[in-house]
Amino acid sequence: MVFRSKYISGFLFLTLIVQAVPVDSMQAQTSEAGVLFLLIPPGARHNGMGQTGVSTAKDANAIYWNPGALPFVSTAEQPRDVQFMHVEWLPGFNLNDMFYDYGSMSWYLPEIGVVGLNFTFFNLGEQDITDEIGEKLGTLNSFDMSIAASYATKLSEDIGVGGNIKFIYSRLSNLRIKNTAENEKGIGSSVAIDIGIMKKNLWINDLTFGASLANIGPRIAYVDQDQADVLPTNLRIGVTYPVYKSEFNNVYATYEINRLIVRGRKNGSDDLSKALFTTWTDNGWHRIGHNIGVEYSYSDFLSLRTGTALDVAGKVYDLNFGAGIKYSMFRLDFAYTTKLAGEFNPRDGSQFYSIGLNF
């Protein structure tokens, strides 16, 4: 326990340091933040359940959704879990060279806790560079990526806590075009941390609560600090409950909310401790995202899923379906997203494929 306490103290210390970093320095806008690829939800299982995960994570994808769930994923009985997902992103735009890959691994170490690694790669495709009169100046390939390391442990049999520290790299352009207004490369980097907690048997047996705060860190600049973008610091809270349980058949239902904690001010920006409160003012409540999911499983072999993700402010409403098969230590999952309402949804038709190993 002494050894674990040292790790916990380290994560708390990092949290206190980064809380002093401003989380916004610009007027509220539609996108509000940079490197939004950090908000793309990984895991076909999670996407099939309405993009839920902070209270439902039970594989290494917990590194993204809620690192506090990792002590319940990797245990002494099954210490290692590996996950990988691929999706062709935004098929509604017919961009054949835009895709998203995510991989993660968690590992239980006796007397230490659970450690983990993950990577995210978001390929933005190929673009032509033109000058102010439309003359082609070159071609570039753009991408975003991040690498994270995790640590988590149990405070009790029912409570898990954890955190990540990540490096973020974004290459919008690797070319310096001298006869344009901006004589700089479009490359930015930053660091961030995530923190999370999971509580089993909250108030009643089998009710699971989860909460996480992700992407806490300094702004990312492509040209100079005056034009830097804030990171998409995001809060997730949710609960999961087995509405039906039997020897072979189980049905789980989950409800989660998420909120982008970004708050612009005319005369500067709020630090994290203040932004957690000011982000809800000026009708900020209507910008909460709602995620609802249901999963049916038969004997831990076959799973069927459905759910919805509701972004009321952005008027994007997803309807999700999914299925999974688990055999021995292998798991295969698939999810499909279509629009629930509205005239156009760029995620309509998205197909998610995941493969996992638990051993």
Residue ranges per domain, the chain? 2-358
Kindly report the CATH class assigned to 2-358.
Answer: mainly beta
pLDDT, tens digit only, all 359 positions of the chain: 333 444 444 433 334 333 334 433 333 334 468 899 999 999 999 999 999 999 999 999 999 999 999 999 999 999 999 999 999 998 878 777 899 999 999 999 999 999 999 999 999 988 777 777 888 877 788 999 999 999 999 999 999 999 999 999 999 876 665 555 555 678 999 999 999 999 999 999 999 999 999 999 999 988 777 778 889 999 999 999 999 999 999 999 999 999 998 755 544 556 677 777 877 777 777 889 999 999 999 998 999 999 999 998 888 899 999 999 999 999 999 999 999 887 778 889 999 999 999 99
On the 0-12 / 13-18 / 19+ scale of CB atoms within 10 A, 354 is buried
Q: What is d(CA 143, CA 339) in angstroms, rounded to the nearest whole number?
A: 27
Predicted model pTM: 0.86
Q: What is d(CA 78, CA 284) in angstroms, rounded to the nearest whole number?
A: 42
Does residue 286 contact residue 276 with C-beta atoms inside 8 Å? no
Query: How many alpha carbons fall within 13 Å on the CB side of residue 282?
Result: 8
